[in-house]
Amino acid sequence: MLLGMALLTALPILAVFAYIFIPSAAVWQHLVATVLTDYLLNTFYLSLGVGLGVLLLGVPLAWLCSMCEFPGRTWFEWSLLLPLAMPAYIIAYTYTGMLDFAGPIQTSLRSLTGWSYGDYWFPNIRSLAGAILMLALVLFPYVYLLARAAFLEQSICVLEVSRTLGCNQWQSFFRVALPLARPAIITGLALALMETLADFGTVQYFGVTTFTTGIFRTWYGLGDHAAASQLAALLMSFVFILLLLERASRRCARYYHSSSKYAQIKRIRLAGWQATGAILFCSVTLLLGFLVPVTQLASWSLANWQTQFDSSFLTLIQHSLGLAIAAAIFALLIALILGYGKRLHPEPLAIVATRLASMGYAIPGTVIAIGVLIPFAWLDTQLNQLSQTLFHTKVGLILSGSLFILLFAYNVRFLAVSLQTVEAGLGKIKPTIDNAGRSLGLSPSAVLWKLHMPLMQGSLLTAVLLVFVDVLKELPATLILRPFNFNTLAVRTYELASDERLAEAGLPALMIVATGIIPVVLLSRSISRSRAGGSSV
């Protein structure tokens, strides 16, 4: 059962790779001659720029908030996670509305100076550099979150030993703490890069041609499903290579630094210009990554809510919440089956099945959508042919034209989020509880329902919330797979921004961001409680 469920979840990936063997020479010649080089270079430069950006922001911020003491630290340590609630495409729309020629900043500049168009230079936000900046501002919390957790979990004894060997506080950071936190930092970097490769809304709106926009254009513009699938397979290959490189880079390394004895963290007290620099660094990052765009979205929303908040907007909310709730519940149920099945039968086959089922999170939503659409469209065709033969009528697009295919794609994409959370919760429950339940005559399913689930309520709630918010923000899969005349908040925001109606896009965008704040706060609280010995303030 576990293997069958895992194979069903991996079906979109297998379907995409199957198209490698279907010839599409004419379209490929056109792509190679015109845009494929741009796809490769822009995707590479985008990934390189975002990777450097999230490292330069995430690692120093994590160290400052976990190991240093300065005014406002306790507030910054959780608020710096808030940009995680801001989808990249929404911050891109917001800054475009603010920095474009007709935006408030350039308009104010012209009114103050009397300049007109062409009299001054102003940076173009709709560019590759702009896309790198937007993505780095919202993705650095991946590195910050994991690096901060790693710094907090390090044994203070190790750092004190480095001090006795002649290292000052900053040398201890570079020579001891940073290398020990390397696995967590690289994992955060890999997550940020996978999100970068998966991004569609930002690069499409900024006119940056990457693999995600190329797949979309080849599928819809050229109408060649084989070529689009082959582009998707090439992009998936890059993602898998990225994951393999991350694992190979620490293949022979070991990072044992924990101690059974935890002391309170003796934070480095910053004063004078050091404290001022730390406050400015944290403040500017939070300001640019969250406060400025949220303020602009709130301003647009207040100016337009009376004309926008009508029955059609309530329908958007209903569609978005309904899809997100249904997908979160289905993902939780599947994660419980897989996670508990692996606990009951910790065999190689069960381990392979759970890893196979969690592959989807590393795959961009555009690729998932194409991989889901191919087999289900084929199945719909077969059902219609059978119905025509037996009943002389066609049943229509039962699977590929309904919400079923959208929910299936969401579960393929975000099952890993729910599965990892459920496995973490199950891992905290001792096997003796299972044995006690079975000795009392409970079946394995009863043990899960009556014993495990009450003990892991927090993990289950976290799993539901994380998938809920991820589904609410998901754009490319929803855009490709939604039924006709079915919109969500994410799709409506994209449509309005594409029509340059940025002010009207403020209200649906603000609702997506506001909902995303909930799991961010929960994550911050769990990290703050992660250190056994506590911390000194």
Q: What CATH number does residue 41 fall under?
A: 1.10.3720.10
pTM of the complete model: 0.82
Question: Are 485 and 352 found together in one domain?
Answer: yes
β strands within 220-269, DSSP E? 268-269
Q: Is 477 helix (H, G, I), strand (E, B) or coil?
A: helix
Say whether pLDDT at 420 is over 90: no
pLDDT of residue 25: 65
The total domain count for the chain is 2
Structural domain including 103 reads 35-252+260-300+528-537
> Could you tell me if 315 and 290 lie in one domain?
no
Residues 55 and 156 in one domain: yes
One domain for residues 237 and 367 = no
Structural tokens at position 155: 């044994």
Nearby residues of 134 by Cβ (< 8 Å), 6 or more positions away: 88, 91, 92, 95, 202, 206
Residue 446 lies in a domain: yes
Residues 77, 17 share a domain: no
Tokens of 353: 């099945």
Q: Is residue 507 part of a domain?
A: no
pLDDT digits (tens, 9 = 90+) for 399-408: 787 888 999 9
H-helix or E-strand containing 222?
none
For residues 345 and 279, state if they share a domain. Answer: no
Q: Does residue 137 share a domain with residue 167? A: yes
Predicted local distance difference test score (pLDDT) of residue 257: 47
What is the pLDDT averaged over residues 217-226?
74
Quick check: is 512 in a domain? no
pLDDT at 247: 64
Mean pLDDT of 129-138: 94
Any domain includes 510: no
pLDDT at 31 over 50: yes
* % of the chain surpassing 70 pLDDT: 86
Same domain flag for 318 and 296 = no
Half-sphere exposure of 485 (CA within 13 A, CB side): 1
pLDDT at residue 251 greater than cutoff 90: no
Q: Does residue 83 sit in the same domain as residue 172?
A: yes
Domain shared by 271 and 323, yes or no: no
| Widest Cα–Cα separation across the chain | 86
Paired residues of 535 in beta bridges:
265
Domain identity same for 18 and 118: no
284 and 347 housed in the same domain: no
Residue-wise burial string across 48-75, b where 16 or more C-beta atoms lie within 10 A, e elsewhere = ebbbebbbebbbbbbbbbbbbbbeebee
The answer to whether 496 touches 502, Cβ cutoff 8 Å, is yes
Instruction: List the alpha helices (DSSP H) in 250-345.
Output: 273-286, 292-308, 311-344
Q: Please tell me the predicted confidence (pLDDT) of residue 47.
A: 92
Q: Is residue 296 predicted with pLDDT exceeding 80?
A: yes
Question: Percentage of the chain surpassing pLDDT 90?
Answer: 16
In a domain, 56, yes or no: yes
